[in-house]
Amino acid sequence: MSDDTGRGFPAHDANSGSTVSEAAAGGILTIDLGAIRENYRRLKARLSGARCAGVLKADGYGLGAAQVASALAKEGCDIFFVALLGEGIALRKAIGHGPDIFVLNGLPPGSEAEALAAGLCPVINSAVQLKAWRETARGAGRSLPAAIQVDSGMARLGMAPAEVETVACEAGAFDGIDIRFVMSHLARADEPQQAANEKQRLEFERLRKLLPLAPASLANSSGIFLGPEYHYDLARPGAALYGVNPTPHAPNPMLPVIRLQAKVAQTREIGAGTGIGYGHTHQADGPLRLATISLGYGDGWHRRAASAAWFEGVRLPFVGRVSMDSIILDISALPAGRLGEGDLVELIGPSQSVDDAAGHAGTIGYEVLTSLGARFHRRYIGG
């Protein structure tokens, strides 16, 4: 299915997402668009015929929605999802007209004209939103595209079952609405043994049959791996495209997408008993060699995230607390003088995955990615 049409998006400067030069930055975030494309192809290959969208909310999970959209378009992807209207407007400006952009959280009341002007499709989550879009369509004098979301058992977004039943009995409820998809979202797709998945799927089946006939969409990244009965007409992966493991109980079937490196700002040698960092939470047992790197919680590196950096395969443990703009590493395992000012150590890469870093912090890869800050030099490769 993959075609390389290049789809007429405005050409991107390879580093258009970057505001900081490599020399000026404390850290370098390398984003492999080729790996994102390969991940899209891998997901598509599992779908046996269903279409595959790209979820680009939170600026493409922190990696650059416009750059990711362009890369996915080269694989033939022409349906994108964002969370907010503002994200949709920005993405439409960046990629131009052509692909469908759906707004998952629905349109805030009164914003319908703005969505229409930007050529965006709402995901309609309530009867009130349905009425507002129907009236927008009437005013526009033509039918307008939308997705209808039903809540099959997550209690987050979408029409509740009772609301679906009410709307289904209302004459003309969908007048002027071009229903592109009826969709729902799974609460526990990353837990394949959970009966909740099948329960949601059956409830989705029931609810969508109450609505006008339209293509269906249920699976996020993990949902794709629950089996073909979850695929329907359109899958909506996000995390897996960005290299987060959609099957946390098994080896990661996706390619890693990012590499995060930080610059050494300074090195020093200290003697036994020296207190290290804020609160002196660490005291040297004996002489140590230390390196301070220019990356901290101000860059989205949680104070409790992974506790080591890597250099040429050698693990360099953090010592003391993570600061806003710096972290102190014990580099005693390296030969003296091997690591100096300006050298790069790795925080995320072959030695430590996004999921590894997240696991240490008691969080998920999604949060590690979307937390990555604005101070890095961003380098796009493989586009």
Ligand X SMILES: *Cc1c(COP(=O)(O)O)cnc(C)c1O
Binding site for ligand X (CB under 6 A): 55, 57, 104, 185, 220-222, 236-240
For ligand X, the closer of residues 157 and 284 by Cβ is 157
Q: 44, 57, 74, 263: which is the annotated catalytic residue? A: 57
Residue of minimal Cβ distance to ligand X = 238
Establish whether 242 is a catalytic residue: no
CA-nearest of 208, 182, 206 to 124 is 182
For ligand X, the closer of residues 129 and 292 by Cβ is 129
As a whole number of angstroms, the distance between CA 308 and CA 316 comes to: 5
For ligand X, the closer of residues 328 and 348 by Cβ is 348
For ligand X, the closer of residues 123 and 264 by Cβ is 123
Residue 264 corresponds to which amino acid? V
As a whole number of angstroms, the distance between CA 150 and CA 158 comes to: 4
- Residue 136: CB atoms within 10 A of its CB come to 19
> Which residues lie closer than 8 Å to 340 by C-beta, 6 or more apart?
264, 267
DSSP 336: T
For ligand X, the closer of residues 226 and 240 by Cβ is 240
Query: If residue 71 lies in a helix (H) or strand (E), which one and from where to where?
Result: helix 65-73
For ligand X, the closer of residues 18 and 39 by Cβ is 39
For helices 65-73 and 33-46, the axis angle rounded to 10 degrees is 50
As a whole number of angstroms, the distance between CA 292 and CA 318 comes to: 10
Phi, psi torsion values for 263, nearest 5 degrees: -90, 140
Question: For 234-279, what is the HEC assignment?
Answer: EECCCHHHHCCCCCCCCCCCCCCCEEEEEEEEEEEEECCCCEECHH
- Residue 151: CB atoms within 10 A of its CB come to 21
CB 149, CB 157: distance < 8 Å:
yes
For ligand X, the closer of residues 73 and 235 by Cβ is 235
As a whole number of angstroms, the distance between CA 143 and CA 298 comes to: 46
State the nearest-atom distance from the C-beta of 107 to ligand X, in Å: 15
Q: What b/e readout covers 40-62, taking b as 16+ CB neighbours within 10 angstroms?
A: beebbebbeebbbbbbbbbbbbb
- Residue 2: CB atoms within 10 A of its CB come to 12
Query: If residue 41 lies in a helix (H) or strand (E), which one and from where to where?
Result: helix 33-46
Establish whether 230 is a catalytic residue: no
Catalytic residues: 57, 278
